[in-house]
Amino acid sequence: MIRSVTSISAPLPFAVAVAVAAVGLTGAGLSTAADAPATAAKPSPPADRIERGRYLVDTGGCGDCHTPLKIGKKGPEPDLARLLSGHPEALKMPPAPKLPAGPWLVTVAATNTAWSGPWGVSFTANLTPDAETGLGGWSAKQFADTMRTGKHLGVGREILPPMPIPAYKNFNDVDLEAIFAYLQSIPAVKNRVPTPVPPAAEATAAKK
Ligand code: HEC
């Protein structure tokens, strides 16, 4: 039984990968972006790449942290008007409560978008294509480099917990390209996420 299931399903990922690669080739063949000025509109990626990206973002749980929760009729629910737009700019967080000594380590905002721990306070990033406050100005390569190295744009500051870089750095190139294509296809939300608060500054603020 198991053997027959395996033999049916085994060729599938290969077939999918070939299909994706073929689409990528077609896209590159049609594109004249290499010679175009940087200001030209980006050619839109094929619909199946965006769809694959949506699937990876949904299964990868990006929205758990990057889409703020709001209180709905049955309790907290993702605020879909702010899909993947990160910690809401208007929600100014007071200093995190100081935890007693013991095994509790982290506190999190009701939105699930601000996290306090030994690293200070981190706020989930705006992943929408807004040019000023989101990933609108990013290239697919900068996105992939960020996810692989755990550094902003692949070269900047270290990305703090709880962003699961140790898991996501294992996405392959095709997956990262698909995730980026999907993120660039969702509605842009203008939302400037605060910069992280280092542990020392957090401790000083809490004493006041
Ligand atoms: C457990 C919570 C959590 C999950 C799940 C999560 N993130 Fe994050 N992410 C964060 C936090 C917090 C930050 C901000 C860290 C910082 O400022 O140093 C962040 C930062 C980022 C950044 C860096 C932005 C920049 O400007 O450098 C990218 C890109 C990103 N996340 C993409 C994703 C994607 C794509 C997924 C799903 C595949 C995802 N995240 C899932 C918590 C999470």
pLDDT in tens, 125-157: 999 999 999 999 999 999 999 999 999 999 999
Q: What percent of the chain has pLDDT over 70?
A: 77
pLDDT at residue 31 tops 90: no
> Residue with structure tokens 């981190």?
122
Q: Is the pLDDT of residue 26 over 60?
A: no
CA nearest ligand 1 atom 1, residue: 162
pTM: 0.82
Block residue for tokens 């040019």: 131
* DSSP letter, residue 147: H
Confidence at 208, pLDDT banded by 50, 70, 90: low
User: Of 55, 75, 71, which is closest to residue 63 (Cα–Cα)?
Assistant: 55
Helices within 38-159 (DSSP H only):
47-59, 62-66, 140-149
Instruction: Answer for the pair 60, 53: CB distance below 8 angstroms, yes or no.
Output: no
In the chain, where the domains are located = 44-88+105-137+181-207
Please provide the average confidence, as pLDDT, over all residues in the chain.
Answer: 85
Task: State in Å: Cα 124 to ligand 1 middle.
Answer: 6
99, 111 Cβ separation under 8 angstroms: no
**CA nearest neighbour of 177 among 150, 154, 153, 145:** 145
Which atom of ligand 1 has the smallest separation from the CA of 151? 27
Give the ligand 1 atom nearest the CA of 64: 5
Ligand 1 atom closest to Cα of 161?
12
